[in-house]
Structure 1
Amino acid sequence: MLKMSNPVLSAVILATSILTLSSTAFAADPAEGRKLASQCKVCHGLDGIAKIPIAPNLAGESQIYIQNQLKAFRSGKREHEMMSVVAKNLTDQQIADLAAWYQSIEITAKMPE
């Protein structure tokens, strides 16, 4: 057994191990996310382009950002009449899958001439 005499080094190794485990615990599946996105399409569109003026576009958005927002709605840290209800019953895996789906959509932009 390896003996750690440096508490800072031990803490860094422990934190790295936890982050590695948590990031591999939920291998996101964009195909599953696409299936789940059918419940999001009324407002955000299956393609991630918002269908109503008050909904944000999700296409091409960062997976981490979407996951954080959905978890905030689920926990109540962030509140919205519709999103709080939708996110309430999502599992971490479902959130990861949805975020992977929307991140996987490629967006292009054209500058005006």
Structure 2
Amino acid sequence: MNKPFVFAALLSVSAAMAAPGALAAGDASAGKEKSSTCVACHGADGNSANPEWPKLAGQHPDYLVKQLKEFKAGERENQTMAPMAAPLSEQDMQDLAAYYAAQQIQYGEADPDLVELGEQIYRGGNKASGVSACMACHGPAGKGNPAANFPALAGQHATYTGIQLKAFRSSARANDYGSMMRNVAARMTDAEIKAVASYIQGLR
């Protein structure tokens, strides 16, 4: 493991923890009632069938609220999600987040041919290129860090994760705290992105 790069990533956690975030206090039952328009893409239980659309099940509620707020404000650009988030109130967002956070994610499987590189990047980063270890912020089991509002990753579709990493790399997605994800992804190759996304899909 590239310990210096794990440590370097850990140093950035304190800054992110100081950043303001939503304190989700939603009603999961109300969220279920409000989720009818979400179901078509994200599934009734938050496990989307299309690998290009994220699984929401088991995600930290504050992270979900943050994303919905930023879709609504245009701080995270997405032509599908912007109109979906536009009519949502703060309470709607909190209720939806509480509902999806309470669901159980359905884990996937990693491509055996990509596990070695994926695990290397996730757990140790790449010392030569300056890629920090993913687990420094997202945890060894991919459960994230709710105190710092770092999302859970374990079981997420590899396709979706790959799309997001490339969006961070190009700065098409720029709603990360202190450019943390953009700085990491900018140093990643396509092969590293594909491998770590696959590894995350099978992580549990």
TM-score of the two chains, using structure 1 as the length reference: 0.71
CA-to-aligned-CA distance 1:22-45 (integer Å, 9 cap, x gap): 85xx74100111111111011001
1:67 aligned residue (48, 65, 71): 65
Q: The residue matched to 1:65 in structure 2 has which SS?
A: helix
- 4+ residue runs of structure 1 moved beyond 2 angstroms? 106-112
1:43 and 2:41 matched? yes
Considering only aligned residues, what root-mean-square deviation do their CA atoms show, in Å? Answer: 2.3
Larger Rg: 1
Structure 1: 5+ residue stretches without partners: 1-18
* Matched-pair contact (CA < 8 Å) for 1:74–1:87: yes
Shift of 1:55: 0.6
The change in CA–CA distance for 1:75 and 1:106 in structure 2 (over 3 A counts) is same
The change in CA–CA distance for 1:72 and 1:33 in structure 2 (over 3 A counts) is same
Higher relative contact order (CA 8 A, sep 6+): 1
1:104 and 2:102 matched? yes
TM-score of the two chains, using structure 2 as the length reference: 0.40
Structure 2: 5+ residue stretches without partners: 1-19, 111-204
CA-to-aligned-CA distance 1:10-67 (integer Å, 9 cap, x gap): xxxxxxxxx9xx85xx741001111111110110011100122311000001101100
The letter of the residue matching 2:43 is: G
- Count matched residues: 90
Identity %: 37
